[in-house]
Amino acid sequence: MLSQQVIVRKAARALAKCGLVGPYGHCSIRLNASELLVCAAKPMGTIAIGEDGTTVPIYGPLPEGVLGEVRVHQQIYQRRADVGAVCRVLPPNVMMMSALGRAPEVRHGFGAFFYPRPAFWSSTALMRSDEIAAGVAAALGLQGGIILRANGAVVAGADMKQAVTLAWFLEDMCRIELGIMATGEANKSPLLTTEEAAGRSEWSGRVAERMWDYLTAGDPE
């Protein structure tokens, strides 16, 4: 069984390998009711074998050396007992949607996990204060992800496998939306109904496990 440190490192490297983060971004896992473990404060693709993350209190100030935006992880864990992992990502299609100032519609199966649509945060301010981080977490509500205007996204899952899967799904959802918008037929393209989305947003069938295997294939740990 993988240790929590290894899970966080593998997730960080997987997000970088698949282009969901670049120089910036971070991921964390809930350790218990009062602590989280966040990856090392460096480009996620450069996190080496054995390079441990930092234990952070869910309630309280950030330890020295932890990135300021990790406040949003704290705020999400405080509000969502169902969340076991959080990823802060900046993939290209999500970034384009965020710059457009809108969330994508639910048009395909992967998007169903964000039905009726991902949450959206309209401020461009970085989440480096408790007030802004709390606002983002509140706007996320019970959704699996929130797009931050001109600033990427945050996703939250029951565990790290679900969180990295949701990061990949959100990027694909934005890719589909942008492609459909480019055809000029967005108003004619059908959206998933409530029933269709409910039928597609199932984690059974090893959905998250298969994505985790795909994203972490070849990882040194």
In the chain the domains, ranked by start, together with CATH numbers, are: 4-216 (3.40.225.10)
Task: Tell me: cis bond preceding 104? Omega within 30 of 0 counts.
Answer: no
Radius of gyration over every alpha carbon of the chain, rounded to an integer in angstroms: 17
Query: How much is the pLDDT for 94?
Result: 98
Question: CA-based angle 120:156:129, to the nearest 5?
Answer: 65
Give, as one character, the DSSP assignment of residue 184: T
Give 63's strand partners. none
* pLDDT value of residue 1: 72
Using CA atoms, how far residue 2 sits from 8, 37, 55, 150, in Å, is 10, 14, 17, 35
Whole-angstrom CA distances from 37 to 19, 159, 184 are: 22, 13, 44
Q: What is the pLDDT along the chain (221 residues), one digit of tens a residue?
A: 789 999 999 999 999 999 999 999 999 999 999 999 999 999 999 999 999 999 999 999 999 999 999 999 999 999 999 999 999 999 999 999 999 999 999 999 999 999 999 999 999 999 999 999 999 999 999 999 999 999 999 999 999 999 999 999 999 999 999 999 999 999 999 999 999 999 999 999 999 999 999 999 999 99
Reference 115, options 107, 127, 106; nearest CA is 106
Which uninterrupted H or E stretch holds 121? strand 119-121
Three-state secondary-structure class, residue 199: helix
Of 208, 197, 147, residue with least CA distance to 174 = 147
Phi, psi (degrees; rounded to nearest 5) at 86: -135, 140
pTM for the model stands at: 0.97
> Residue 48 corresponds to which tokens in the numbers above?
């080496």
Among residues 59, 54, 53, 87, which one has the least CA distance to residue 75?
Answer: 59
* Host H or E run for residue 85: strand 85-89
Q: How far apart are CA 214 and CA 201, in angstroms?
A: 19
